[in-house]
Structure 1
Amino acid sequence: MKHLVNMQDLSREEIYHILHVAKQFKGKTTLPHVNGMVANLFFEPSTRTRVSFEVAEKKLGLEVVEVNAAASSVQKGESLYDTIRTLQAIGVNAVVIRHPEEEFYASLIDTIDIPIINGGDGKGEHPSQCLLDLFTIYEEFGHFEGLQIVIAGDILHSRVARSNALTLSRLGADVRFSGPPSWQDERLPFPYTTMDEAVEDCDVLMLLRVQRERHEKEESHTDYLEQYGLTAARETRMHPKSIILHPAPVNRGVEIEGKLVECDRSRIFTQMENGVYVRMTILNHLLNKEGLDNEFSIKKRSIAGR
C-alpha cells in the first residue's frame, strides 16, 4: 500500500490487519516512533478528521504541517499537483488531503512519490472514516459476517455511505439503506427499507448527516426526524445489543433525537476516539514501511515520557 485513497484498493487481509494493529495501539502505553513531516491540506471544513489526523501524527512523533488551503497558492491558480509536488520538494513525507472534487487523487498517485491519504473526496469516498467505523463495529461484535447493518439518511451525497456499504458487504455484512426517495443512490446495489423496519432488524444503525452543502437544490424536510430519523420512540424498538453510529457532525434533532447522541447504545464518541488509533495505524504503515502486523518491533517510546 503506497497510498490510501479508496477502500477498493485494500484487500480483506489488509483491512483486518489495520483493525488488528489499531486494537494494539488502543491497548498500549508505548507507541512506535515515526520520523518525518506530514502536511494536512483541507479544502473543505473539517473538525474530526483534521484534528484526528493531527493528534495521530503527534502521538507518533511526526512533525505536522498545517496548510491553510484558503491562503495557499491554489487561490492564485496553482494546480493541486504543483501544490503537492512543492510540499514533496521541500521535505514533506506524506500528505492528507480533503478535496471537494471526486477522485482528486487520480492525477497524483502515479506521479507523486510521497504517500497520499484521502481525507474525503467530494461525494466519492472517505477511507479512514470507513476504517474507524469498521474498527468500532469489530470491537463490538468481533465479526462482520451476517451482521444486519442499515445506513440511513442522505445516501446520495454521502462518501461515508459509499465507502462503508461497499466494504461492509465485501466483509460479509447484510447492508441496507434508508432515507428520503430524492436522496437515494441508484448506483449502489443495496435495497432500501423504512426507518421503522430498520430499527427493529438492525445490529448497527449508521446515521448520516444531511449534507445541505452538496445539494443542488434546497429541499425542505421539516419533518425529517419523524419520517427518516432516529426518534426516542424508535430507539426503544431496537435490539438490546444493537448500536448507533454517526460519522458526525451530528445535527441533533434532525438525524437523531438529541438525547440519543450519548445514550447507552450510542458509539458516536467511541468512533471519534477510534479514529485516532486507526489513523495512527495508517500513518505508521505508510511511513515506516514495516508492515502492519509487526507487534511494534520498531523503535518504541513511552507516551508518558512526552
Structure 2
Amino acid sequence: MSGWPHHHLIDLARFSREDFATVLGLAQRFRTLPVSGGRKLPALQGRLVTTLFFEPSTRTRSSFELAARRLSADVQSFTPSSSSLSKGETLLDTVLTYVAMGADVLVVRHRCTGVPARLVHHLRTLGIRASVLNGGDGLHSHPSQGLLDLLTLARHFNPGDPGPRALEGRRIALVGDVLHSRVARSNLWALTACGADVVLCGPPTLVPDLFRRFVEAPPPGQQEDPVARRGRIEVCRTLEEALPGADAVMTLRLQKERMRQHLLSSLESYHRCFGLTHARLRLCGGSAPVPVLHPGPVNRGVEMSGALLSDPEHSLVDEQVLNGVPVRMALLYLLAASEVAQGAALDQSSLNPSSSRP
C-alpha cells in the first residue's frame, strides 16, 4: 500500500490501474485470512468508522460495518429516523457531530447526487482530516460496489491472480437501467480501466446513446484521466445483438417508478425483451458457463429468471455479496491506516489475526 494517493473515495474515475490493482490485491489477501469468530485483525484498532446512511441499505451498510469490526475498528451507526435531523439539524452539522466524537472514516450514503463530494469540500475548508467514503450517492457513484464486482469477475477469470489483467480484452454486457444506475457508472470506470470492453443493452429510455462517450473525458473538477488507454463502450438495443461473444453479463435492477415516468410500458414486457434466461444466455456462445452478476436486490422474473439466479453454474450473485466484505476491508484499511502506514510495506503484524476480541 506504499504510496496510496487517496484520502477520500468519492468515485472510481480518479483511480489509476495501479489503484485498482492495490485494492484487488489487498481484498484478495483479506478474503483468504481466517477472521471468523473471535479472530480479528488488529489493523484498525483504536480507529472509529461511522456509517451515515441517509438512504436504506442492507448489503452495503452491513458489509461495511462487518468489515470495520473484522479490522478491530470501533463502529458507529447513524439512523436518520432517530437523529436530530427531525429537529432541523443540517446534514453538515450531523456529520460534524460525529467528527467531534473522533470519527476517522465517514461512510456516507445519500439519495442526492454529490453529497459525499460536498462533505469533502466542507471538511477540507475546516481543516478536518477525517476521510469520506462514498457508500452510494444519487445517480453518481457507488465505488465499493464497482470494486467488489471487479473482484468477483477477476476471481472468476483468473482465480490464481485476480488483478486488473484478468479483465483485459474481456467483453462484459451490462443490461437494464443504466441511466439511473450509480452501479453501472462505477462499473464503466472500473471495467474500462482494466481493459475490458463494455456493451450496454436496453431501450433508449434507459440506455441513452450518450453513454457511448461516458469515459471519454474526466468528470468536472478532474484535470485528466489517470488511465492511459481504456476499453471501449458499445450500446446495443437487443440481447441478440449484445450477448454474442460476451464473457460475462451483469443485469441491473429496475424500479417501478420508471413505469410511472413512462420509461417502461410494463415489467412483463421488459422481461420479454431484456430479461435474462438460460436460453438467452446461450447467445453468448462458447463452451464454458457464462457468469451472471446483479448488484441486488434482484426482481426475480424481471431482470433475470429465478432459475438462472439460483443456478450456481452461472450465478455469481452470492459471490458478489461475499466479496463485499474483503473489498470494503481493503478500502477502510487504505483510508484509515494511511496516516500510519504511508510509505511502508503492509504491516505484517497488523494483518495477522488476533485471537482476542477488540
TM-score strictly above 0.5: yes
Q: 2:307 aligns with which of 244, 249, 259?
A: 259
Is 1:191 paired with 2:191?
no
- Measured against aligned partners, the alpha-carbon deviations of 1:138-197 in whole angstroms (never above 9, x if no partner) come to 112231111001111011100011111132112211111011221113442232222123
Identity over aligned residues, as a percent?
39
State which drifts further: 209-218 or 269-278: 209-218
- 1:61–1:216 Cα change, 3 Å: farther
- 1:303–1:129 Cα change, 3 Å: farther
Q: Which amino acid aligns with 1:33?
A: A
Is 1:118 paired with 2:134?
yes
Q: Which amino acid aligns with 1:200?
A: P
- 1:192–1:186 Cα change, 3 Å: closer
State the match for 1:145 in structure 2: 168
Q: Does the CA contact (< 8 Å) of 1:29 and 1:302 recur in 2?
A: yes
Is 1:18 paired with 2:19?
no
Is 1:279 paired with 2:328?
yes
State the match for 2:92 in structure 1: 81
State which drifts further: 103-112 or 127-136: 103-112
RMSD of aligned residue pairs (Cα, Å): 2.1
Listed as ranges, the matches of 1:195-274 within 5 Å are 195-213=239-257, 217=261, 219=264, 220-238=266-284, 239=286, 240-263=288-311, 264-274=313-323
- 1:268–1:304 Cα change, 3 Å: farther
Measure, in 2, the Cα distance between the counterparts of 1:58 and 1:292. Answer: 25
State the match for 2:195 in structure 1: 172
Give how far 1:130 is off.
Answer: 0.4
Measure, in 1, the Cα distance between the counterparts of 2:279 and 2:350. Answer: 52
Is 1:128 paired with 2:154?
no
Give how far 1:25 is off.
Answer: 0.7
Measure, in 1, the Cα distance between the counterparts of 2:12 and 2:317. Answer: 22
Q: Which amino acid aligns with 1:78?
A: E
Q: Which amino acid aligns with 1:235?
A: L
Measure, in 2, the Cα distance between the counterparts of 1:124 and 1:277. Answer: 23
State the match for 2:109 in structure 1: 98
Is 1:70 paired with 2:81?
yes
- Measured against aligned partners, the alpha-carbon deviations of 1:202-261 in whole angstroms (never above 9, x if no partner) come to 101011000335777154232222211102311234332421111001111110100111
SS in 2 for 1:33: helix
State the match for 1:302 in structure 2: 353
- 1:5–1:215 Cα change, 3 Å: farther
Q: 1:4 aligns with which of 1, 9, 14?
A: 9
- 1:19–1:89 Cα change, 3 Å: same
Q: Does the CA contact (< 8 Å) of 2:33 and 2:353 recur in 1?
A: no
Measure, in 2, the Cα distance between the counterparts of 1:213 and 1:303. Answer: 48
* Unaligned segments of structure 2, at least 5 residues: 1-5, 36-40, 124-128, 159-165, 213-232
Q: Does the CA contact (< 8 Å) of 2:276 and 2:303 recur in 1?
A: yes
Q: Which amino acid aligns with 1:99?
A: H
Give how far 1:291 is off.
Answer: 4.8
State the match for 2:215 in structure 1: none
Q: Does the CA contact (< 8 Å) of 1:5 and 1:105 recur in 2?
A: yes
Measure, in 2, the Cα distance between the counterparts of 1:257 and 1:213. Answer: 21
Give how far 1:303 is off.
Answer: 5.7
Give how far 1:81 is off.
Answer: 1.7
Q: Does the CA contact (< 8 Å) of 2:211 and 2:235 recur in 1?
A: no
Measure, in 2, the Cα distance between the counterparts of 1:11 and 1:203. Answer: 24
SS in 2 for 1:236: helix
Q: Does the CA contact (< 8 Å) of 1:23 and 1:277 recur in 2?
A: yes
* Unaligned segments of structure 1, at least 5 residues: none
Give how far 1:73 is off.
Answer: 2.1
Q: Which amino acid aligns with 2:152?
A: T
Give how far 1:43 is off.
Answer: 1.4
**Count of paired positions:** 306
**TM-score with structure 2 setting the length:** 0.80
Measure, in 1, the Cα distance between the counterparts of 2:49 and 2:110. Answer: 17
Q: Which amino acid aligns with 1:192?
A: V
Measure, in 2, the Cα distance between the counterparts of 1:14 and 1:172. Answer: 14
Q: Which amino acid aligns with 1:195?
A: L
State which drifts further: 87-96 or 179-188: 179-188
Q: Does the CA contact (< 8 Å) of 1:95 and 1:117 recur in 2?
A: yes
**TM-score with structure 1 setting the length:** 0.93
